[in-house]
Amino acid sequence: MIDPFMFPRLLPIAQPPQMDTSCALFLHLDGTLLDLAPTPESVTIPPGLIKDLENASARLGGAVAIVSGRILDEVDRLLSPLKLPGAGEHGAVVRMSSGQRDEVDERIPHDWVTALEAIAHGKRGVIIERKPHCVVAHYRQAPRHEALLKKACQALVTELPDVFEVIDGKMAVEIRPTRVNRGRAVRRLMETTPFKGRKPIFVGDDVMDADGFRAAEAYGGDAADVFMRFAGRPSEVRHWLRSALRPN
């Protein structure tokens, strides 16, 4: 008989962070709480997730935030009726617990969106997603166009290189303001009640979460990469969210 322990594990074992009621929780959405889908519009909300978020927020005194690349209105629609504090467009818009918003001034030039839409025309599977402060070219269903889309985005930002930058996502390339990142969202929220003075835990799954990780660690908190700490499975994140703050 073959000994299974002679072979390396193909996936890491889930090792989620320790969380108690003195923490503040920052959660990425797609790929962290939600399983990735072929298009942004086709994601599904797992049963019980909204209730689990509501319970976690209550246990943490409201210190639960969603930090997403989506616009806040989309986050609210997906998690309705919840309307948690957090950030949209990677931190371009930050919503406090009070409902007050902190929004950057930079807006994506209209002609850049038009140029990307023209490039995407006729290329089945390429999706251009326009947001107020950013624009995304999705190629999950058309990976052969990756190089073309990245080159096009890089060419556009040469017009305003100090204002906008190109970021690689999961099967997507995005143009965003240079001063916007998910660390900005953490820092801004950690200045306000109920986050102030708590230990932040940032849970995320992609390269754009790295700024959020660093910000959480700068406040003495924890960075939890979904692959490294949750075996690459959003289902493990959801299980942790449900169980970590369960009353004894």
Tell me what pLDDT residue 248 has: 58
Instruction: Tell me the average pLDDT across 60-72.
Output: 97
Tell me what pLDDT residue 247 has: 67
pTM (two decimals)? 0.90
Fold that domain 10-104+180-243 belongs to in CATH: Rossmann fold (3.40.50)
Provide the 10 A C-beta neighbour count for residue 147. Answer: 10
Taking 50 as the threshold, does the pLDDT of residue 176 lie above it? yes
Taking 90 as the threshold, does the pLDDT of residue 221 lie above it? yes
Taking 80 as the threshold, does the pLDDT of residue 190 lie above it? yes
Instruction: Tell me the average pLDDT across 107-135.
Output: 96
State the pLDDT confidence band at 10, using cuts at 50, 70 and 90: low
Instruction: Tell me the average pLDDT across 162-173.
Output: 94
Task: Give the domain ranges of the chain.
Answer: 10-104+180-243, 110-177
The strand pair at 86-88 and 64-67 is best described as parallel
Sign of CA dihedral 38, 41, 44, 48: positive
CATH 3.30.1360 fits 110-177, yes or no: yes
- For residue 44, the number of C-alpha atoms closer than 13 Å in the C-beta half-sphere is 4
Q: Give the chain's mean pLDDT.
A: 93
Q: Following DSSP, what letter does each residue of 4-61 receive, concatenated?
A: GGGS--SSPPP-PPP--TTEEEEE--BTTTB---SSGGG----TTHHHHHHHHHHHTT
% of residues, the chain, pLDDT over 70 = 94
Residues 6+ apart with CB under 8 A from 120: 126, 127, 128, 137, 149
Taking 90 as the threshold, does the pLDDT of residue 38 lie above it? no
Taking 60 as the threshold, does the pLDDT of residue 172 lie above it? yes
pLDDT per residue as tens digits for the range 80-94: 999 999 999 999 999
Q: Following DSSP, what letter does each residue of 46-107 receive, concatenated?
A: -TTHHHHHHHHHHHTTT-EEEE-SS-HHHHHHHHTT---SEEEGGGTEEE-TTS-EEE-S--
Tell me what pLDDT residue 217 has: 98
Instruction: Tell me the average pLDDT across 161-178.
Output: 95
% of residues, the chain, pLDDT over 90 = 89
Cα separation, 88 vs 109, whole angstroms = 18
